Amino acid sequence: MNLIIKKNHNISQKKISKNSMKVLYRLNKSGYEAYLVGGGVRDLLLGKKPKDFDIATNAKPNEIRKLFKNCRLIGRRFIIAHLIFKNEIIEVSTFRAKNNNLKNHQLYSSRIKKSNNGMLLCDNNFGKVEEDAHRRDLTINALYYSIKDSGIRDYVGGIKDIKQKIIRLIGNAEIRYREDPVRMLRVVRFSVRLHMYIDKKTEAPINKLSKLLNNIPPARLFTESIKLFCFGYGYLTYIRLKKYSLIYPLLPFVSNKFSEKNTIFFKNIIIYCLKKVDSYTSKKKIRCPEFLFASLLWYPLIEKIQKLLTHKKLKYLKAYSISVHYILKKYSILLGIPRNILLNIEKIWNLQKDIENKKKSETKIIIQHNNFIQALELISLRSKIENKNELKKILFFWNKQNIFFKKK
């Protein structure tokens, strides 16, 4: 174990949330070991503001619940405690035991369950802090900060990897990916977000194992998609995901066969959409999930409408209605898109025709619509991709109207 004392690192307790400090103090005062761990420690060392703080302790889940009235135990695969404060949720996990070999692993069979693919289904085998460090995914996320001595405990070389800008899995990469295929997405996400290199042994099995993501529940993959594409580095992440064949389980429609024209449009809208989301993320101007999927699914929708118009000889409004229902139902199942986001996607699509019609009598009503900005941004993407003068004129008209009503 490498102990980095207070004077040799840049973490200040003033930058740790007050709620996290309260939790750490109470656990310590009650006789338990407790450390700040994971991304919070990593981000503080990198001079970044952590988006959340996690705590690891030797207190068992039920012991944590007895100490904190605001505790809610969650999870099946691994039980963790959520301590719910007014503006923050602190995640507290119990140290997990390290299983050194297969024989050891079998000793804990009552508490650890794996699928035929090697994916962890249940893992509630508790241990010591040094064992817990070896059970974490990345070396840079396995650093333990103590408020007792303000020291950082490093059991796996995380400090060295932060300095050298390396993303490295702890343990055998193939086994760790099989235990939880989402780790492949985390490796890519952190490499892009933190501008780090992926260790060769960590990188090597990814292409071969990418299809394991098909075993992950769609709702969990949707959550990961938002983390990958909605935080300011979506386009670069997309390029990296394609490199490792990880994009197809996340966005299965990427491999769909469209007409030649729609194929070109679809490929371009992915690039334009992700770059647009990246540019707006820091400004918080656009609600990402609904805009992202309304844009990415626009040309699959158009393809479906065109097929119904050609083969079923339906009127446009009927073909549109059937196609919207079909696309949203299909991809709500495949991608695990929540109902509230599906409703907003449909509203963005419905506004396309309203915006294109340019009815002056309805201008103010359309501009005041909650999804107007997202719908107008989709028009903007389409005008670039389809290169139609009519769409450019429509965009100019609505931008002018929007400025006019803002001034009023």
pLDDT for 404: 53
pLDDT for 134: 94
Whether residue 131 is contained in a domain is answered as yes
Whether residue 118 is contained in a domain is answered as no
Q: What percent of the chain has pLDDT over 90?
A: 76
| pLDDT per position as a tens digit, 70-99 | 999 998 778 999 999 999 999 999 999 876
- 242 and 265 housed in the same domain: no
Residue 219 has pLDDT above 80, yes or no: yes
Domain boundary among 164, 195, 222: 164
Q: Please identify which of the residues 123, 132, 137, 154 carries the catalytic annotation.
A: 137
pLDDT band at 119 (very low <50, low <70, confident <90, very high): low
| Secondary structure element (H or E) that encloses residue 121, with its range | strand 120-123
User: Mean pLDDT over residues 39-44, rounded?
Assistant: 96
Whether residue 108 is contained in a domain is answered as no
Q: What is the CATH number of the domain that holds 4?
A: 3.30.460.10
Q: What percent of the chain has pLDDT over 70?
A: 90
Task: Report the helix count and the strand count for the chain, using DSSP H and E.
Answer: 21, 12
Answer whether 351's CB lies under 8 Å from 294's CB: no
Residue 9 has pLDDT above 90, yes or no: yes
Q: Is 149 a catalytic residue?
A: no
- 311 and 374 housed in the same domain: yes
Domain boundary among 134, 164, 194: 164
User: Mean pLDDT over residues 145-169, rounded?
Assistant: 97
| pLDDT per position as a tens digit, 249-269 | 898 887 766 677 778 888 899
**CA dist., res. 390 & res. 125, Å (int):** 63
Say how many domains are in the chain: 3
Q: Please identify which of the residues 43, 54, 154, 199 carries the catalytic annotation.
A: 54
Q: Please list, in sequence order, all residues whose beta carbon lies within 8 angstroms of the beta carbon of residue 186, skipping any fewer than 6 positions away.
A: 137, 138
- 338 and 365 housed in the same domain: yes
Whether residue 112 is contained in a domain is answered as no
Residue 106 has pLDDT above 50, yes or no: no
- 295 and 152 housed in the same domain: no
Domain boundary among 195, 227, 250: 250
- 159 and 59 housed in the same domain: yes
Whether residue 270 is contained in a domain is answered as yes
pLDDT band at 272 (very low <50, low <70, confident <90, very high): very high
Whether residue 102 is contained in a domain is answered as no
Report pTM: 0.87
pLDDT for 107: 42
pLDDT for 263: 81
- 322 and 273 housed in the same domain: yes
Q: Is 54 a catalytic residue?
A: yes
- 196 and 262 housed in the same domain: no
Whether residue 170 is contained in a domain is answered as no
What residue numbers bound the domain in which 218 lies? 181-250
pLDDT band at 284 (very low <50, low <70, confident <90, very high): low
Q: What is the CATH number of the domain that holds 286?
A: 1.10.3090.10
pLDDT-wise least confident of 46-55, 245-254, 257-266, 361-370: 257-266
Whether residue 311 is contained in a domain is answered as yes
**HEC string of 127-139?**
CCHHHHHHHCCEH
pLDDT for 244: 96
- 270 and 368 housed in the same domain: yes
- 245 and 268 housed in the same domain: no
- 234 and 262 housed in the same domain: no
- 25 and 159 housed in the same domain: yes
**CA dist., res. 378 & res. 273, Å (int):** 8
Q: Is 132 a catalytic residue?
A: no
**CA dist., res. 184 & res. 366, Å (int):** 42
| pLDDT per position as a tens digit, 317-364 | 999 999 999 999 999 999 999 999 999 999 999 999 999 987 777 888
- 290 and 401 housed in the same domain: yes
Answer whether 55's CB lies under 8 Å from 35's CB: yes
User: Mean pLDDT over residues 132-152, rounded?
Assistant: 96
Mean pLDDT rounded to a whole number for the chain: 89
| Secondary structure element (H or E) that encloses residue 197, with its range | strand 197-198
**CA dist., res. 22 & res. 92, Å (int):** 13
| pLDDT per position as a tens digit, 192-217 | 999 999 999 999 999 999 999 999 99
Q: What is the CATH number of the domain that holds 232?
A: 1.10.110
